[in-house]
Chain A
Amino acid sequence: MAAEPGRLPADLPADAGRRLAELERGLFTSDLSVNEFLLVKEAGFHPLGFVMGSSIYHIGLQARRWGRSQELTKLTSAMYEARELAMNRMEEEADALGADGVVGVRLDVNYYEFGSDAAEFIAMGTAIRAEDGRSYRNVAGKPFTSDLSGQAFWTLLRVGHVPLGLVMGTCVYHIAHRGLSQSLSQLGRNVELPNYTQALYDARELAMTRMQDEANRLEASGVVEVKLVEKSHTWGSHTIEFLALGTAVAAAPGAPPPPTPQSVISLDL
Chain B
Amino acid sequence: MTEPSRTARTGAWSSALSTNDFAATRAMGLQPLAFVQGCSVVSWGFLGAGAPGARGYYEQFPCPHGFVSADHRLYGYNYEQTWLEEAWFGGLRAAYDRLLDEARRYEAHGVIGVSARVERLAAPPAVEFSLSGTAVALEGSAAPGAPFTTFLAGQKLRKLVEAGFAPVAIAVGFASVGVLASCVTEYQLRGVGTVTYGAAPVGEIDQLVRAHTQARALARERVRDQLGGDVLHAARLVVREVEAAGGPQVEAELRGNRVRRFKDVEPLPPPRPVVRLVDR
Closest to A265 in B: B271
- Residues of B close to A33: CB separation below 8 A: 279
Interface check A188, CB cutoff 8 A: yes
Interface check B195, CB cutoff 8 A: no
Interface check A224, CB cutoff 8 A: yes
Per DSSP, chain A at the interface is mixed
A224/B17 contact (C-beta < 8 A), A198-B2, A268-B276 known: yes
Interface check B6, CB cutoff 8 A: yes
Interface size on A, residues (CB 8 A): 64
Of the 9-residue stretches A13-21, A80-88, A189-197, which lies at the interface with chain B? Answer: A189-197
B165 to chain A, nearest CB (A): 14
In the bound complex, do residue B14 and residue A223 qualify as a contact, i.e. CB atoms below 8 Å apart? yes
Query: In the complex the two chains form, what is the Cα distance from A211 to B12 in whole Å?
Result: 10
B229 to chain A, nearest CB (A): 27
In the bound complex, do residue A264 and residue B272 qualify as a contact, i.e. CB atoms below 8 Å apart? yes
- Residues of A close to B130: CB separation below 8 A: 200
Interface check B244, CB cutoff 8 A: no
Residues of chain A in range 226-269 having any CB-CB distance to chain B below 8 Å:
226-228, 237-238, 246, 248, 258, 260-268
Interface check A36, CB cutoff 8 A: yes
Interface check B86, CB cutoff 8 A: yes
Interface check B22, CB cutoff 8 A: yes
Residues of chain B in range 104-131 having any CB-CB distance to chain A below 8 Å:
121-124, 126, 128, 130
Of the 9-residue stretches B36-44, B68-76, B171-179, B230-238, which lies at the interface with chain A? Answer: B36-44
In the bound complex, do residue B43 and residue A191 qualify as a contact, i.e. CB atoms below 8 Å apart? yes
Interface size class of chain B, counting residues whose CB lies under 8 Å from the partner chain = 35 or more
In the bound complex, do residue B1 and residue A191 qualify as a contact, i.e. CB atoms below 8 Å apart? no
A119 to chain B, nearest CB (A): 22
A64 to chain B, nearest CB (A): 14
A223/B277 contact (C-beta < 8 A), A188-B46, A197-B39, A201-B1 known: no
Option from A225, A258, A260 in Cβ contact (under 8 Å) with B17: A225
Interface check A186, CB cutoff 8 A: yes
A258 to chain B, nearest CB (A): 6
In the bound complex, do residue A155 and residue B45 qualify as a contact, i.e. CB atoms below 8 Å apart? no
Interface check B56, CB cutoff 8 A: no
Of the 9-residue stretches B23-31, B138-146, B218-226, B245-253, which lies at the interface with chain A? Answer: B23-31
Option from A151, A221, A224 in Cβ contact (under 8 Å) with B278: A151
In the bound complex, do residue A190 and residue B48 qualify as a contact, i.e. CB atoms below 8 Å apart? yes
A166 to chain B, nearest CB (A): 13
A198/B23 contact (C-beta < 8 A), A177-B123, A188-B46 known: no
Query: In the complex the two chains form, what is the Cα distance from A151 to B84 in whole Å?
Result: 44
Of the 9-residue stretches A50-58, A89-97, A131-139, A202-210, which lies at the interface with chain B? Answer: A202-210
Closest to B130 in A: A200
A186 to chain B, nearest CB (A): 5
Residues of chain A in range 17-62 having any CB-CB distance to chain B below 8 Å:
33, 35-36, 38-39
In the bound complex, do residue A149 and residue B279 qualify as a contact, i.e. CB atoms below 8 Å apart? yes
Option from A39, A225, A264 in Cβ contact (under 8 Å) with B274: A264
Interface check A216, CB cutoff 8 A: yes
Chain A interface residues toward B at CB < 8 A = 33, 35-36, 38-39, 148-149, 151-153, 155-156, 158-159, 175, 177-178, 186-194, 196-198, 200-202, 204-206, 208-209, 211-212, 215-216, 220-228, 237-238, 246, 248, 258, 260-268
Using A193-B43, A200-B130 as known contacts, list a sample of 12 further A-B pairs with CB atoms less than 8 Å apart, ordered by residue number in A.
A35-B279, A155-B19, A156-B19, A188-B46, A196-B126, A197-B94, A208-B14, A208-B35, A225-B18, A226-B15, A258-B26, A267-B271
Chain B interface residues toward A at CB < 8 A = 1-2, 4-6, 11-20, 22-24, 26-27, 32, 35, 37, 39-48, 83-84, 86-87, 90-91, 94, 98, 121-124, 126, 128, 130, 132, 155, 158-159, 162, 268-269, 271-272, 274, 276-279
